[in-house]
Amino acid sequence: MQNKPLRILHCANFNEKILGATFYATDYKISNGLIRNGHFVHNFSYRDVARNLAFMRIRNFGKAPMNRELIATVDQINPDLLLLGHSELVDNVTLEVIKARRPSIKIAMWWVDWVANMTPQRALYERRLNIADHVFLTTDPDIFKAEFAVENADRKMHFMPNICDSSVETGQAFAKDDHLHDIVFIGRPDIERKPLITHLQERFKEFNVGIYGQTLETLLLGDDYNATLAQCFIGINFNRRNDIPLASSDRLLHMVANGCLVMSPNVPRLDEIFSDKEIVYFDDFKDFEDKARYYLTHRDEARQIAEAGYRRAHRDYEAQKVVENMLTTIFSDTA
């Protein structure tokens, strides 16, 4: 690991066009953590750059000039590390040009979605995984190794947890006596989630249940989203797929780090991230209902679990610590 401050170009989807509505996104948290560790970071919002350079601001028309701008930005900054988020508009040949011009530069990539979300650009990412020096995944890396042909996969592919940020997730819902909702679920109206939503609506009528994200009217963004989580007693973590090892939406960290008592299906190996003393796991909807009703009537026990999860999140999964571990991995590489 280098001791001097690093120069880092972070190419990710900062989504500047929506004016801070997703200030809690992983892109921002990673940059925040890098800066707090003493490094220089330049954020390159590749989709916004492409849109701004495009004819009639149609993003795909700006892909080629955006790639040229990325190369020019590397030339201007001369970074030690080009860190890529979900960068589907960045051509692999662009990365090869950058690497050829600056052989000492490190190129690393992070990915916070499960493997199925890579398949629309499968050819792009299969090659990308081989160009990058290191790849950090919030899903079990073995799934990616099985799905894609990656050279030196054991050396370059690493698990990273979803992260929180102590300057973003500032709520302590477990410390409140008066909550906005007894139970909250936030998520898109996917068919996989419909049975859960129906169960909540039919079986918890005597409780104050908040269900958001199903319509434009109930969509939460910006501070409305963050502040809502900070005022809810139980938060439900329920993904479209709950059988993928280690995989979960980053909403899990949003809820835990804001002090909710989080209830989650028994996702394989998720208990390696949070134990059953830090969040509550359930097997099916009947098990969920039994446990939810128990903790809604035994609130002191619930608060203890929620606080334990909150402290674990801010201790082990805070942005500054996670990105420090990433940098150690990247710059300890001698292969």
Tell me the pLDDT of the chain (335 aa) as tens digits.
Answer: 567 899 999 999 999 888 999 999 999 999 999 999 999 999 999 999 999 998 777 777 899 999 999 999 999 999 999 999 989 999 999 999 999 999 999 999 999 988 777 777 888 888 999 999 999 999 999 988 888 888 888 899 999 999 999 999 999 999 999 999 999 999 888 888 899 999 999 999 999 999 999 888 999 999 999 999 999 999 999 998 899 999 999 999 999 999 999 999 999 999 999 999 999 999 999 999 999 999 999 999 999 999 999 999 999 999 999 999 999 999 986 44
CA atoms within 13 A on the CB side of 36: 16
pTM: 0.94
Please state the φ and ψ torsions of residue 48, each to the nearest 5 degrees: -65, -40
- pLDDT for res 335: 42
Instruction: Return the bridge partners of 82, or none.
Output: 9, 107
Query: How large is the greatest C-alpha to C-alpha distance in the chain, in angstroms?
Result: 65
Q: Angle formed by the axes of helices 194-203 and 285-297, to 10°? A: 40
- E strands, 96-179, are 106-111, 134-137, 157-159
- pLDDT for res 54: 84
- 8 Å CB contact between 73 and 42: yes
Instruction: State how far the Cα of 102 lies from the Cα of 80, in Å rounded to an integer.
Output: 9
Considering only CA atoms, give the Rg of the chain.
21
- pLDDT for res 313: 98
- Report which of 274, 198, 272, 267 is spatially closest to residue 239, judged by C-alpha positions: 267
- pLDDT for res 333: 64
